Each structure stands twice: as C-alpha cells, then as structure tokens.
Amino acid sequence: MKLNRTNLEQHLDHLYDAIVVGGGAGGLSAGIYLQRFRLSSLIIDKGKARSFWMQALHNYLGLSPDTSGRQLLQQGKQHYSALAGNFLEGYVEAVTEEENTFTVRIKVGRQNSRYVMFQSKYLIVASGIIDHLLPLDDMQNVYDYAGYNLHVCMVCDGYEMTDKLCGFFAGSEASIEEMVFNLSWFTPRITIFTHGLFEVSGQMRSQLQEYGYRLVETPIQKFLGENHQMTGVELIDGSVIELETGLISMGSRYHNTYLKGIDLEMKGGNLITDKMGRTSHPRIFAIGNLKVGLNQVVVAAGDGALAATQIWREIRKDTGPRKWQENLKILA
Ligand SMILES: Cc1cc2nc3c(=O)[nH]c(=O)nc-3n(C[C@H](O)[C@H](O)[C@H](O)COP(=O)(O)OP(=O)(O)OC[C@H]3O[C@@H](n4cnc5c(N)ncnc54)[C@H](O)[C@@H]3O)c2cc1C
C-alpha cells in the first residue's frame, strides 16, 4: 500500500520486520523478497534513484536492452505493492536503536513537511549514491546529455563507447589514473578534460603523451549537441572540440548521513558487509551501491534477495515451526 499523509496514522504503531531505506533497484528487490517471505516491510524512498537517470539498462538478463530505469522502478513498485508492501515517499533523516528496535525518523513532504517515526526489527540500507557531474554554470546543459551519450559508468556503457571519440571528464588525477587506461579497452581515442579543477603532474602528462591521449585543461563553457546527443564541447576561449561520446568520472555522494548515530564499519563512503549483506551491526544489512561491491543493477537486485533471505531465516528460527493444529486435534 502506498502510504501518504492521510493514511499514515494507522501504520505508525506497527513494528515492521524490516524497514528498507531506499526504493531503487536494490530496495525494491529486497521488498519483493520480504513480502514473499510473508514478513512485514516498509520501503521509504526520497525518489530520483540513480537508476532513475539510467536511460537504458543494456546488460540485464531477460530485459530488453532499451529498458529504462524509470520503467524498471515503475514495474518494481507495482510488483511490491501487489504483494501488499508499504511504500512511503519521504526522506530518512535519522535512525536510532533501543532495545533491539530501530526507530526511523522521516520527513514527509518538501513543503509543510511532517515528521514521523516508524519502527522495525531489521534495517536494510539501500539508499545508494549519486554521481557528481561536471560543475557548469548552466547545469541544465549537463542534464541534457548525462545518461544519454555522456556516461557516468564504464562497466555499464563502455560497450557503447567502442572506438568512439571520447571525452573523459576527470575530477582528479587519481580518476585519470584509475579510469583512463581501462577506458582504452573500449576506445583509445580519448581526450581528457580537467576543466581547470586540478593540476596534472609531469609524470601523468608524459604517460598520457606516450599513449597519444590528449589533455585539455581549459575550462569548459558548455556541451554541444541536440536531442540528448552530445557532439562536443565549447571551451571558455571559444574553441570547439568534437566528440562522439563522453565519460564523467568525478566521484559520488554517498547517501548515508542518516546512519551517523550508529557505529558501522565503512570503506570510504561504502558499508562493509558479509556475503549476505550484513554490516558490522547484526541487524543492519546494506545492499546495492552503498555497500562495497560492483555498482550494477543486477548486483543490487541480487543483494536485495540475499539480505531479505537472511532476515527471513533469522526471524523464522526465532519463531520456530508452526503446528498443524487441526491434525493435532485428530491425533489427540
Ligand atoms: C546514467 C546511469 C546509467 C546506468 N546504467 C546502468 C546499466 O546500464 N546497467 C547497470 O547495471 N547499472 C547501470 N547504472 C547503475 C545503476 O543505476 C545502479 O547500480 C543501481 O541503480 C543501484 O541501485 P541501488 O538500489 O543501490 O541505488 P538506487 O537505484 O540509486 O536507489 C537508491 C534510492 O534510495 C533513495 N534514498 C537515498 N537517500 C535516502 C534517504 N535518506 N531517505 C529515503 N530515500 C533515500 C534514493 O533517492 C534512491 O531512490 C547506471 C547509473 C547511471 C547513473
């Protein structure tokens, strides 16, 4: 059921088996499994998942390669809702824990906001990350192409970049080092743009020269193109560089601030988990892009299945087997 301001009240005193923070690919998958295990679950989602910006999911078994992230999310929400899962659009601000129960504080509505608390035995954190994009004065110019032929994920879209004239938009020298030589697997026709954000060392310059990769340090004025197809960039000095595709590699923001009151083992912004998704807290599971691993839809969906299954195993063990009462009466 979709919860909203008018029907919230009747669910506030319910102790959920699991609350899932984030209704993207991982969170919806976890929710579907939880409901099918006949557990009670609530997904809280602020919207605009990373998957929402995915124009086409090219690498998911069984789905047409032009399936968009929006379609995936819509289908996932319908599936979850058909299993009677509760879904609330809201922003999780904080999580606290007392006597084996989590209390999740949520802001509902951007205007005239209402603050509500929900409680659960387990917590699944599926709130993901979001990519930093190139900081231009006119960000709409970046949004016009990002997710189309201006990519943010090489594992997802390297194939689409094969042998194309590619702009690599770096956030630091470390991102050049980490990504550019891997990108050359797909295309060696690489121009690296620093946008004047950082200095490139002499050693890196000569390495780039050795491979024939171009380095542009003049800041970018805007992307050029039409119908969401980027065809190049114009620099602030008015010069134009033609491109056929691009990859932005400027790091990410981790959606984990609501966890700051809980001591969890992390690596950078990512949560460290075991193979079932359990964090260093026995009743908190982390799935999808927020945990250490490969940032892919198929992995996030698989993580959701693992975490939900482990939670079911534990709750089932605590509850014990059900008795066949009618048969016991006959046998008595
Ligand atoms: C442009 C683009 C193209 C991509 N292409 C592919 C591809 O082809 N193949 C592929 O496998 N992967 C692709 N990816 C990666 C894929 O989108 C991610 O791996 C996947 O979405 C991760 O799922 P997730 O559930 O971890 O996070 P998300 O899908 O990002 O979901 C997290 C959800 O949590 C919500 N949230 C965050 N904080 C809070 C909070 N405090 N309270 C409530 N809700 C919160 C977010 O708003 C979001 O809705 C692409 C990504 C991008 C950006």
The 10s digit of each residue's pLDDT in 85-118 is 999 999 999 999 999 999 999 999 988 899 999 9
Domain count, the chain: 2
The 10s digit of each residue's pLDDT in 307-322 is 999 999 999 999 999 9
Distance from the alpha carbon of residue 26 to the mean position of ligand 1, in angstroms: 8
Instruction: Report phi then psi at 176, rounded to 5.
Output: -65, -50
Q: Is 67 in the pocket of ligand 1 (CB under 6 A)?
A: no
pLDDT at 176 over 90: yes
Taking the whole predicted model, whether its pTM rises above 0.85 is answered as yes
Question: Are both 217 and 144 inside the same structural domain?
Answer: yes
Question: Are both 190 and 243 inside the same structural domain?
Answer: yes
Question: Are both 120 and 173 inside the same structural domain?
Answer: no
Question: Are both 118 and 259 inside the same structural domain?
Answer: yes
For residue 31, the enclosing domain spans 2-130+252-319
Is 282 exposed, middle or buried (CB count within 10 Å of its CB: 0-12, 13-18, 19+)?
exposed
The 10s digit of each residue's pLDDT in 118-137 is 999 999 999 999 999 999 99
Distance from the alpha carbon of residue 156 to the mean position of ligand 1, in angstroms: 13
Instruction: Look up tokens 């603050």; give the residue.
Output: 115
Q: Is 244 left (phi over 0), alpha (psi -120 to 50) or beta?
A: alpha
Give dist(CA 289, CA 294) in Å, integer.
7
pLDDT at 11 over 90: no
Question: Are both 269 and 137 inside the same structural domain?
Answer: no
The 10s digit of each residue's pLDDT in 39-73 is 999 999 999 889 888 999 999 999 999 999 999 99
Q: Which atom of ligand 1 is nearest to the CA of 56?
A: 8
State the average pLDDT over residues 233-260: 97
Q: Enter the tokens of residue 103.
A: 């209390």
State the average pLDDT over residues 155-167: 97
For residue 76, the model assigns a pLDDT of 97
In a domain, 70, yes or no: yes
Question: Are both 204 and 188 inside the same structural domain?
Answer: yes
Q: Which of 198, 221, 249 is the last residue of a domain?
A: 249
Distance from the alpha carbon of residue 126 to the mean position of ligand 1, in angstroms: 9
